[in-house]
Structure 1
């Protein structure tokens, strides 16, 4: 004896089976694709500590434009491979990462400093002196 069932094209199971795996999301390691940081403020300026592990200090670029700070870094692929050796798995991130953020006060670019040690970038960003309002006399 055979079982007959009626086909319904709008049945949820049919649609699920049709598109199963078609829109599969690409898995990205979010920890490797962003720079995590802490920003602190006092009366004179800002202190930024940014985690950028596995990068040479020459490959870190910092740009200050008014109150906007941009940090970018690049890790390069090392293609060192010995004869007879094959790579079974490669998990280290290779590429470019960047982050920009705006602060409340403008930064004094001439007095700003950066230091990179043990995978942590430390920025000291002094606030730009606020010019006093100029008073005009009416003649």
Structure 2
């Protein structure tokens, strides 16, 4: 399939742009824009690797939890308002708030080997797979 297109569940950008022609801009701009965390998850024989785009967040404000095969990432972008006397804000598009993503993987993760790194707005997680217990046949007597 050469033409792959991702659709936004709320009709996508084209629908919004069409409506912007007929309604005031203030209807579409909210005080709290939606924060989005985009993820890439890859897998090899030994581990999962997750890359999460979380721009504008300090590494101290990121929380990662792993429970079995469930991974939870939470981040908080904090407001650092800088106002000067005699200055007024005409427009502010920078966002502040909390964003979280949770997802499950196909196999449990070994929590002792998890490694997290945050650089240039990208959180990278190395999640080693937990060794599966050997299955053995039980003889019924």
Q: TM-score range by the shorter chain?
A: 0.7 to 0.9
Alpha carbons 1:34, 1:99 under 8 Å: kept: no
| Superposed structure 1 runs of 4+ greater than 4 Å apart | 25-28, 134-139
Deviation at 1:80, TM superposition (A): 2.1
Displacement of 1:133:
2.4
Is 1:66 matched up with 2:84?
Answer: no
- Which one has the bigger helix percentage? 2
**Which whole-Å deviations, capped at 9, do the CAs of 1:31-73 have from their partners, x for residues lacking one?**
9522101110000010111111110000011111110101111
RMSD (Å), alpha carbons: 2.1
- Equivalent positions of 1:26-45 (< 5 A) are 33-45=35-47
Partner of 1:104: 106
Gaps of 5+ in 2: 1-22
Query: What is the DSSP-based 3-state SS (H/G/I as helix, E as strand, rest coil) of the residue aligned with 1:110?
Result: helix
- Calculate the TM-score normalised by the size of structure 1: 0.74
Q: Which residue of 1 aligns with 2:87?
A: 85
CA distance in 1, matches of 2:139, 2:54: 53
Q: Which has the larger radius of gyration?
A: 1
Q: Which residue of 1 aligns with 2:13?
A: none
